[in-house]
Amino acid sequence: MASFAETIGKWASRTPERVEAVHKRALEKLAVEMTRTKAEGGNVPVDTGNLYRSLVASTSGMPPTSDQPSAGSNVNSVIAVLSTNQPVRFGYTAKYARRMNFGFVGADSLGRAYNQQGNHFVERAVAMWPEIVSDAVQEVRNASR
């Protein structure tokens, strides 16, 4: 896979400001794809909406999971103050997010049997990264005209 700098191309690579703008916009677009519901053309299933609302960002490690309903995403707030070379992690705080993404076959701790197919919403968004970056470059370029 090409590096971010190679992916964004010559125009965006010319200045640190362009690189930063494309980086932030691409991360915002990635988060949108990671929360795009099936009704919107994505892979995130919706029952109560807690799953897609539970996507959060962190610069210090993977966000912890919780049994509590999500208070909402902080993704845009974290991206707003993010520097280009700073790592960021996206994760779902909903404890069941892993099962919803990967699926689950077997018995749970209460002995209930499951054969739940995965929705693969994370993999779908990650696979779209080159297209997301390309779109972000175009958006930033158009906005700078």
- Measure the CA–CA gap between 143 and 141, rounded to whole angstroms: 5
Between 119 and 5, residue with greater pLDDT:
119
Into how many domains does the chain fold? 1
Q: How far is CA 117 from CA 37, 46, 47, in A?
A: 16, 15, 16
Q: What is the DSSP string of 24-73?
A: HHHHHHHHHHHT-BGGGTSSB--SSSHHHHTEEEESSSPPPPBSSPP---
Range(s) of the domain holding residue 60: 4-143
Tell me the mean pLDDT in the region 53-75.
93
Q: Give the mean pLDDT of the chain.
A: 92
Q: pTM of the entire structure? A: 0.89
pLDDT band at 37 (very low <50, low <70, confident <90, very high): very high
